[in-house]
Amino acid sequence: MAETASDETFVMKVKIQVPPRPASDDPREPLPGPSATTAAEIAALRKFQSENLDGVPHLIATKCARQGPNGPFPGGYISYIVMKAMPGRDLMASMFWSLDDAVKEEIRDAFVTLLKSIWRLGIAPYDCALRNIIWDAAARRCSIVDFEHYDAAKDPINMTEREEMQRWGIVQRPPPSHWAVEWGLYKDP
């Protein structure tokens, strides 16, 4: 592993298997782990690191072990992921919609460029939210975080940029034709 500068900041995620909830599909037996979402995130972070992609966290270390007898689900998994923290503030905390229009456009341009780079690696995140977009105002750089949930990406050349920005909440969507369309109960004709 390469030496890291002492001023770098890291994030640790800890995921632990808990006892099953009543009337759920949760596993009744301890699993070796990690969970499918944790495994997906580890795979994405490794890919970002191997491709040296800027604007996304890189995996620093990971470990998965079994809980001891005093854990919430003895024998179940406990997994740890350490990744590089991305500088800046998430757009929710930054009150994106209150920012100056020129700044919002700068963020949108940087976001689309970064998202296309992520798609080129075959990763299309679907936890699309302002909280997962980080803007470093001092460096004028965009980052995307939280890769527990993603699908295989299409070719970014086929990306409809406006629709993607709407999904992530950085461009307003047109109003739905009916409340049931908005709730996904039926589609517009």
Name the residue among 54, 10, 9, 16 with its Cα closest to residue 33.
16
What is the average pLDDT score of the chain?
91
Sign of the dihedral defined by the CA atoms of residues 169, 93, 11, 30, in that order: negative
Cα–Cα distance measured from residue 140 to residue 169, given in angstroms and rounded to the nearest whole number: 19
Chain position carrying tokens 């009916």: 178
What are the CA-CA distances from residue 132 to residues 94, 117, 143 (Å)? 12, 16, 8
Helical (H) or strand (E) element with 99: none
Say whether pLDDT at 2 is over 70: no
pLDDT at residue number 155:
83
Q: Give the predicted TM-score (pTM) of the model.
A: 0.85
Q: Does domain 89-181 have CATH number 1.10.3470?
A: no
Q: What is the pLDDT of residues 102-135, one digit of tens each?
A: 999 999 999 999 999 999 999 999 999 999 999 9
Evaluate whether 178 touches 137 at the Cβ level (below 8 Å).
no
For 135-155, what is the mean pLDDT?
A: 94
**pLDDT value at position 6?**
66
Sign (positive or negative) of CA dihedral 147, 148, 152, 158 = negative
* 4-18, 65-79, 87-101, 121-135: the lowest-pLDDT one: 4-18
The 10s digit of each residue's pLDDT in 20-64 is: 888 788 888 888 888 889 999 999 999 999 999 999 999 999 999
Q: Quick check: 3 pLDDT over 60?
A: no
